């Protein structure tokens, strides 16, 4: 075996299939997108090379692009500062319950994740319906009719309404990843800490959270990239409207490519989109790079 692995030709033959798949499935499409982003291609005919015009237009004069990016950042912040702390608290509570209730609650929280996005999105559209929706009906029942809104049709409430849907749809995934991380922490560490006098909240701040840092890093990165590429829920609920109030990057890219037939422009957006995702990944790698915990 050692002789085989020391042969460079053998190593090349073993690596070559994966390298070819990576080149044609990932690297080549990215290079093609960069090239098409420098053209005015409409999807038909020969693309005309226009250099960096699309990128200049997007960066300096496309207000919808920046509004879409801003909305994606709002969603990412909602994931990080609202959804994930709640998911972590619920994961700790479920972990401590034990027995059958633990399995029941774990299943209940994960149910939205196994339902197709189309179904959950349409369900929320019904809940938000200004005339027949359950939310406005409940407000009426509680004599809070003055709070009734056209949740998805009003520019003031459309974005927050979409963000709530996205957080609800992804809550089960966030909880499950934290729950799996908690199960990997040995109980002996908690017992040793209790012997040393640590109790209650201190156990979580000194043991649970530090040991969950790798899990938190993965969860944050997934959540933020998911926020940047959010499309299905937006397309199925508001399609970015009213106006551009709830527009997101991926949905805007889709509209430019398939509704406006501006494939060159859409490819330029996709290149900037990839750069944004890479920047986020590098940012989190730097934040969480310091400690490595072993137990």
Residue 6 predicted with pLDDT over 80: no
pTM (2 d.p.): 0.85
Return d(Cα 205, Cα 128) in angstroms, integer.
Answer: 38
Domain range for 84 is 63-288
Q: What is the pLDDT of residues 73-114, one digit of tens each?
A: 999 999 999 999 999 999 989 988 878 888 888 888 888 888
In the chain, the percentage of residues whose pLDDT exceeds 90 is 44
15 in any annotated domain: no
Query: Which H, E and C letters describe the chain, residue by residue?
Result: CHHHHCCHHHHHHHHHHHHHHHHHHHHHHHHHHHHHCCECCCCCCCCCECCCHHHHHHHHHCHHHHHHHHHHHHHHHHHHHHHHHHHHHHHHHHHHHCHHHHHHHHHHHHHHHHCCHHHHHHHHHHHHCCCCCHHHHHHHHCCCHHHCCCCCCCCCCHHHHHHHHHHHHHHHHHHHHHHHHHHCCCHHHHHHHHHCCCCCHHHHHHHHHHHCHHHHHHHHHHHHHHHHCCCHHHHHHCCCCCCCCCCCHHHHHHHHHHHCCCHHHHHHHHHHHHHHHHHHHHHHHHHCCCCCCCC
Spatial separation of the C-alpha atoms in residues 59 and 269, rounded to whole Å = 10
Q: Is residue 260 included in any domain, yes or no?
A: yes
Which tokens belong to 130?
A: 């200004």
Tally of domains within the chain? 1
Residue 32 lies in a domain: no
Residue 29 lies in a domain: no
Contact between 66 and 74 (Cβ < 8 Å)? no
For 158-163, what is the mean pLDDT? Answer: 94
The domain spanning residue 252 has which CATH number?
A: 1.10.3720.10
Lookup: tokens for 267: 């490819």
Euclidean distance between CA atoms 169 and 116, whole angstroms:
10
User: What is the average per-residue pLDDT within 200-218?
Assistant: 84
- Residue pLDDT, tens place only, 239-287: 998 988 999 989 999 999 988 899 999 999 999 988 888 887 788 777 7
Question: What pLDDT sits at residue 1?
Answer: 63
What is the torsional sign of CA 276, 278, 282, 288?
A: positive
Q: Is residue 118 part of a domain?
A: yes
Does the residue 218 lie in any domain?
yes
What average pLDDT does the segment 210-239 reach?
Answer: 89
Residue at 10 is within a domain:
no
Taking residue 214's Cβ as centre, other Cβ atoms within 10 Å add up to 14
Q: Specify if 47 maps to a domain.
A: no
CB contact at 8 A, 75 and 166: yes
């Amino acid at each position: 075996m050692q002789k085989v692995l020391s042969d460079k030709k053998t190593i090349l033959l073993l690596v070559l299939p994966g390298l070819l798949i990576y080149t044609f499935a990932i690297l080549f499409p990215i290079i093609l997108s960069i090239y098409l982003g420098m053209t005015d291609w409409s999807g038909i005919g020969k693309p005309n090379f226009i250099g960096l015009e699309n990128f200049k237009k997007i960066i300096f004069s496309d207000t919808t692009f920046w509004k879409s990016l801003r909305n994606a950042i709002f969603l990412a912040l909602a994931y990080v500062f609202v959804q994930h702390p709640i998911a972590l608290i619920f994961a700790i509570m479920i972990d401590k319950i034990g027995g059958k209730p633990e399995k029941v609650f774990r299943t209940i929280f994960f149910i939205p994740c196994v339902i197709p996005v189309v179904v959950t999105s349409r369900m929320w559209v019904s809940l938000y319906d200004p005339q027949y929706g359950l939310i406005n009906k409940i407000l009426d029942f509680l004599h809070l009719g003055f709070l009734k809104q056209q949740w998805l049709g009003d520019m003031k409430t459309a974005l927050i309404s979409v963000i709530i849907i996205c957080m609800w749809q992804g809550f089960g995934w966030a909880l499950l990843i934290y729950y799996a991380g908690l199960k990997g922490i040995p109980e002996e560490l908690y017992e040793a800490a209790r012997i040393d006098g640590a109790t209650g909240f201190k156990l979580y701040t000194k043991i649970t959270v530090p040991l969950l840092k790798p899990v938190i890093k993965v969860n944050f990165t997934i959540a933020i990239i998911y926020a940047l590429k959010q499309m299905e829920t937006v397309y199925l609920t508001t399609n970015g409207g009213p106006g551009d109030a709830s527009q997101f990057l991926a949905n805007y890219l889709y509209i430019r490519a398939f509704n406006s037939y501006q494939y060159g422009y859409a490819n330029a957006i996709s290149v900037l989109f990839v750069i944004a995702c890479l920047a986020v990944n590098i940012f989190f790698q730097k934040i969480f790079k310091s400690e490595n915990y072993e137990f």
